Amino acid sequence: MKREISYLHAINEALDEALKEDPAVFLMGEDIGIYGGGFGATRGLERKYGRERVRSTPISESAITGVAVGAAMTGLRPVIELQFSDFITIAMDQLVNQAAKIHYMYDGKFSVPLVMRMAAGAGTGAAAQHSQSLENWMAHIPGLKVVQPATPSDAKGLLHAAIADNNPVIFYEHKLCYSMVEEVPAGKYVIPLGKAEVKASGTDVTVIATGVMVHRALAAAVQLRHQGISVEVVDPRTLVPLDEKTILNSVRKTKRVMIVTEAVKNSGFGAELAAIIAESEIGLTLLTPIKRLGGAFTPIPCAQELETKAIPQEGTIVTTIMEMFK
């Protein structure tokens, strides 16, 4: 029987299944108990599993992350929630100088199997300190894995993979995706980290999009089809590890590529993707230069009109692709 659930429901379902299956899994975060977390992802789980396994914490991201690192080193599998991804900055020492490096510095004798879940991105008028996309920064740190699911089914399967992984995983959930609904399998399933997906097949241009930009790229592809342009949309799903093979195979076919991220374009992951393509054997066969769209180099404005201008939109994608064919 087919069923459709929201992205938020898919996250809750994956957490429920992981808690049920593995007694080493436990959750930590601000207000994740009775309140169900800042966006409701953990609703009902404290009542089902108790306060030992669903732990509401003080307002201290550094403490939450530090406790999670220590717990992971002892064999537990903490899944921590930061209400907004912006607050990762408060936990950078514990995350970057400890969690990411312990396995390497202890010669593999310790692992740090923790997952840090965060609501990310703009589009809700939450202003500069609650709307950032900082995945570029996290992808730069050796020892961290970075996951960015765009759809409910991907969110569930990738969260299961992240919880099972023996490395620290940063798990970005875009706030605008929470209400999106699609068919999601019942029961546990795993989508391996490091496996991209072609969300729409095309022949004329490849659009590599991350997070909520996947949906805007798909909408743009529908518009461009009426203009006689066939767009292939590739979603990396995980930035680290990155599925270069799927990306390069798509670009090899279309010989045109545009990269779309919400994160600030300057020094961003889009530049890394562009470099990978340019340095490959495909680089000299491209029919047009690689195009990048990303967030403006500015803090995210609160005003809706300005916020919209600061982030790539469907119309921006359409216009940029059409320019590639002039």
Catalytic residue numbers read 130
Q: Where are the beta strands (DSSP E) in the chain?
A: 4-6, 25-29, 54-56, 77-82, 115-120, 145-147, 169-174, 181-183, 197-200, 205-209, 231-235, 238-240, 257-264, 291-295
Report the distance separating Cα 270 and Cα 244, nearest Å. Answer: 13
* Beta carbons of 183 and 2 less than 8 angstroms apart: yes
Location of structure tokens 């950032």: 132
Q: To the nearest 10°, report the CA torsion of 11, 17, 19, 20.
A: 160
> 43: Cβ–Cβ under 8 A, 6 or more apart, which residues?
12, 36, 37
Peptide bond into 289 cis (omega under 30): no
Cα dihedral value 278, 234, 247, 198, nearest 10: -160
**Measured between alpha carbons, how far is 212 from 68 in angstroms, rounded to an integer?**
28
